[in-house]
Amino acid sequence: MSQSRTFTLNTEPHVATVGETQLLFQPEVMGDEFLDAYEALQESQKNLGVDVNNLAAADPENLRAVVRSLRLFLARLMLPESAQTFARWEVVKSGKAVSSHATPGEAAEAAAKVKGDATVKDVGMRLPDRVLVELLEWAVELYGGGQRPTGLSSGSVQASPPPGTRGRAVSPSKASTRARGR
């Protein structure tokens, strides 16, 4: 006997509301797209030599680079309009924006081609680190099959067992001698 099964694809964007801004994430991401973005995030952190479980020992410039890589990872999963709001770098000359770019590398290349002094300015969405980590964990749950990333949370520990869990010891009442004749 043959079997039939219907699979549903998400067609509506996932929405992350941050303050008054709604960031729209792709409804579906193919596995390799997610894995490529996640691998790039991990590789950038590894190259910087930052132990995300011991941030106190990290160089502040390396920490900034980790945050940039996190923002770029999240932007890769967003719809273009939201990605442009979330992560954007402008080339600025004489106080005026000359061009806008999705990565700081692209902006640096463009700035190098501008005659005269041009700088790169981060004009993306500014968020506290805790919100970036929460967005990361949410995105990984959406696209990564519910598995959280390892080492990126702020020192989470496994939950304690629920209260009232019994141990294996024998209770004194059961260990006592039974009364005979009953």
Measured between alpha carbons, how far is 111 from 119 in angstroms, rounded to an integer? 6
Across the range 38-46, mean pLDDT stands at: 87
pLDDT at 179: 52
96-101, strands of its sheet edge to edge? 96-101, 89-93, 119-122
Full residue range of the structural domain in which residue 81 is found: 10-87+126-153
Across the range 146-169, mean pLDDT stands at: 44
Same-domain pairing of 49 and 26: yes
Same-domain pairing of 27 and 65: yes
Which sign does the torsion angle of CA 29, 35, 40, 45 carry? positive
Same-domain pairing of 76 and 131: yes
Residue 168: is its pLDDT beyond 90? no
Measured between alpha carbons, how far is 97 from 84 in angstroms, rounded to an integer? 15
Q: pLDDT category, 173, cuts 50, 70, 90?
A: very low
Same-domain pairing of 65 and 27: yes
Q: Which two tokens stand for residue 163?
A: 């209260």
Q: Mind listing the pLDDT tens digit for each residue in 69-104? A: 999 999 999 999 999 999 999 999 999 999 999 999
**pTM strictly above 0.85:** no
pLDDT at 24: 97
Measured between alpha carbons, how far is 92 from 121 in angstroms, rounded to an integer? 7
Residue 68: is its pLDDT beyond 60? yes
* Number of structural domains the chain divides into: 2
Q: Mind listing the pLDDT tens digit for each residue in 97-149? A: 999 999 999 999 999 999 888 999 999 999 998 999 999 999 999 988 765 44
Same-domain pairing of 113 and 25: no
Helices 60-77 and 129-143 sit at what angle, rounded to 10 degrees? 40
Same-domain pairing of 82 and 42: yes
Residue 59: is its pLDDT beyond 70? yes
